[in-house]
Structure 1
Amino acid sequence: NFSSVGIILNASFCMIEGCNIYEKEYGIKLNKTNNTITRCNLINNTYGIYSHGKFNSIYMNNFIENSLNAFDDGNNTWYDEINEQGNYWYDYNGTDADTNGIGDIPYNISGGENKDLYPLMDLIDLFIPYVQISINGTFGNNSWFVSNVTVFINSYDNETEISYVNYSIDEIWYTNENSSFNFTISDGIHNIKCYSVDEYGNAGRIKEIDFKVDTILPSITYLFNPSLPNGKNGWYTTNVEIFLYAEDESGIDELTYKIDEGGWEDYTGFFSFTSENIHKIYFRARDMAGNEKTENTTLKIDKTPPLVEINKPDEGFIKLQYEIEWNANDAIDSNLDGNISIFYSPDNGITWNGIATGINNTGSYIWDTAEFADSDETLIKVFAEDDAGNNNSAISQPFILDNTPPSVTINQPVAGKAYGKDEYGNIVIEVEWEAYDNIDEDLNGNIKIEYYDGSSWNILEENYLNTEYVFNAKEWDDGTYKIRVSAEDDTGNVGSAISGNFTIDKQPPSIYISRPLKGYIYINLFGRGIIPPIPVGIIPYDVIIIGKINVEITASDAHSGLQRVEIKTMNLTYPIYSPPYVWEWNPSLGVHTLTAVAYDNAGNSKSYEIEKILCLNV
Structure 2
Amino acid sequence: MSPRTLVVALVAATLALAGLVLPGSSAPASAAPVQTLEWTAGDSTDHYLSAPSTAVAGETTIVFKNTEELGSTMSHTLTFDTSTPGYNHDVNLNILANPYDDKNGVHEATVTLTPGKYRYYCTIQGHTKMMGEFVVTDGGGADTTPPTVTANVTGTKDTAGNYVGSATVNLSASDSQSGVDKVEYQLDGGAWTAYTAPVAVTAAGSHMAHYRATDKAGNVSPEGMSSFTVVTGQPGDTTPPTVTAEVTGTKDAAGNYLDTATVKLTATDAGSGVDKVEYKVDEGAWTAYTAPVAVTAPGMHMVSYRASDKAGNVSPEGMAHFTVVSSDTTAPTVTSEVTGTKDTAGNYVGKATVTLAATDAGSGVGKVEYNLNGGPWLTYSAPLALTVVGAHTVKYRATDKAGNVSAEGTATFTIVEGDDSTAPVVSVVVSGDLDGSWSYIEDATINLTATDAGSGVDKIEYQLDGGAWTVYTAPVKVTALGTHTLTYRASDKAGNVSAEQGGAFTIVAAPPGPDACPDSDLRDTVILGTADSQVENRDTGNGCTINDVIDDESDYSSNDQFVTYVRAVTQELLDGEVISSDERNLIVTAAIESGIGGTATEPEPEPGKKKPETKNPGMKKTVKTPIRDV
TM normalised by structure 2 equals: 0.20
TM-score with structure 1 length normalisation?
0.20
Higher relative contact order (CA 8 A, sep 6+): 2
Larger helix proportion, structure 1 or 2?
2
The answer to which structure has the higher strand fraction is 1
